[in-house]
Amino acid sequence: MENTRRSFLKKMTAAGVGAAGLAMAGTASATTVAGSPEPQKKKTAGKDDGKLRFGFIGTGSRCHEHINNVLAIPGNKIVAICDIQQGPIDRTLKHIAKFNVDAPKVYKGGEREFEKMLNNEEFDCVIIASPWEWHVPMSVAAMKAGVPYVGVEVSAANTLEECWDLVNVSEATGSHLNIMENVCYRRDCMAALNMVREGLFGELLHGGCGYEHDLREVKFNDGKNYNYVPGSGDLRMGPTAFAEAQWRTQHSVTRNGDIYPTHGIGPIANCMDINRGNRFLSLSAMATQSRGLHKFIVDNGGENHPLAKVRFNLGDIVTSMIKCANGQTIIVTHDTNSPRPYSLGFRVQGTEGLWMNDGNHVYVQGKSKPHRWDDSDEWFKKYDHKLWAQLDAQAKEAGHGGMDFIMMYDLIDAIKNKKPAPMDCYDAAAWSAISGLSEMSIARGGALVDFPDFTRGQWIHRKPAFGM
């Protein structure tokens, strides 16, 4: 691990390239916006030593991935970190020390300690990697405190009210909210986006995507290790568990909908120019029965295990269908409680061909052999996105196959050049709204529900910007 980190830094320096922790106790409340807050005076980027000043709220494993990339790109420093638990703070300080940089200030203790950090320090960017229920309160507080760029982990919001909070406060303060959706920077997704923009698939008709990821060993653990290893110890969720099992599993108890849609919908939304010449119009969702989590408890802890009494509300497979203003349909699947290999199920289909990432298939009419799939690798080599072509050597040793690095590089480029956020408040709201809308539709027996226009009509005239 250490050798990998050092070689990563060495390559980055030579090139001259300019999960969430914070296990909060209690429940965060949505920050409903009443009126328009006065825009805060923005601080000059790179004050004093010319370096961009970063802060982190939430110091779990996801925070560490972001720290790796922030410190690997020259010209950045970490001013302060915040968490309520000493363990994650200690691990993060130890992690930062490996980079031979100054230790950041530490804010810890109460649930609202992040507000002290935001009010006391000056930042160019604050990254929020906390449990989901705190994403909006922390993002809103950062924007109101005058932080020019706020990066919020996914999903950005859980309810429609929270989605509007993000949009309203970003518009009122002028702060740039960026949803940290790393899959939008996945190499194949960016190559497919290039193919769409080059017209290889013709006029788009349909998209498919989702989050199909067996998370049973993340939603439960033994209180010491991130993943539960069957037979290794007690089975826990909630306050006595470790990392995401402390808070994430509870969403499967209380909610029934697509509670984690952005990994899938983000890349498809970019392909379909959502919020920039197109928008989501309506949604209908259905869920299967809930079986997987209870079965996992019984299989590993027995029928008499205390958690066997927990009633889980989340259907094992949630399917949402979306209609777009320009006519396209999109199917989004959420499947995290079943035994299965990982897949985001991407499908981009138009009048001239399609890409399906399960099987790595591409078919382009007039170029592929009739009724035969091409291997997508050959197409993606030809249409590789310039960000990947430029940064391949530096990105390949970063997290999640390099897409975390490309995402941070793009955000830092926006900060340095005072450009809009690559994936802005309207993207954060529209992509995250699938959660609240799918819950609403399922509760109504699959009824069609209208999709809010978070841009308030601006989508008609806005131009595609991501990865341009």
Dump pLDDT digits (tens) for 323-365. 999 999 999 999 999 999 999 999 999 999 999 999 999 999 9
Contact call for residues 168 and 411 (beta carbons, < 8 A): no
pLDDT, residue 231, reads 78
CA 420 to CA 102: how far, in whole Å? 30
Residue 247 DSSP label: T
Which of 9-23, 106-120, 402-416 shows the lowest mean pLDDT across its residues? 9-23
Beta strands in 75-223 (DSSP E): 76-83, 105-108, 125-128, 149-152, 176-179, 204-212
Residue 35 sits at the vertex; the CA angle it makes with 33 and 40, to the nearest 5 degrees, is 85
pLDDT of residue 44: 53
CA-CA distances (angstroms) from residue 93 to 72, 146, 157, 283? 16, 26, 28, 44
- Helix axis angle, 187-197 relative to 386-395, nearest 10°? 170
| pLDDT band of 22, cuts 50, 70, 90 | very low
Higher pLDDT pick, 44 / 269: 269
Question: 24-52, pLDDT tens digit by residue?
Answer: 333 454 444 444 444 454 455 556 688 99
Report the distance separating Cα 315 and Cα 151, nearest Å: 30
- pLDDT of residue 217 exceeding 70: yes
Structure tokens at 127: 């990254």
pLDDT of residue 5 exceeding 50: no
Global model pTM greater than 0.95? no
Residue 270 and residue 322 in contact, taking contact as beta carbons nearer than 8 Å: no
Handedness of CA 442, 445, 447, 449 (dihedral sign): negative
Q: What mean pLDDT is predicted for residues 91-100?
A: 97
Q: Which residues have a Cβ under 8 Å from the Cβ of 246 and sit 6 or more positions away?
A: 23, 131, 237, 238, 239
Instruction: Tell me the residue ranges of DSSP E strands in 103-155.
Output: 105-108, 125-128, 149-152
- Cα→Cα distances 204→79, 196, 278, 378, Å: 45, 8, 12, 21
Report how far residue 173's alpha carbon sits from residue 51's, in angstroms, rounded to the nearest whole number: 24
Distances from the Cα of 28 to the Cα of 87, 174, 314, angstroms: 21, 24, 21
150, two tokens: 């706020």
Please check the confidence at residue 4 and state whether its pLDDT lies above 50: no
Structure tokens given for 429: 């709201």
Tell me what percent of the residues of the chain surpass a pLDDT of 90: 87
Q: Are 210 and 334 in contact (CB under 8 A)?
A: yes
Predicted pLDDT at 6: 39
Distance separating alpha carbons of residues 280 and 282, to the nearest angstrom? 6
pLDDT of residue 131: 97
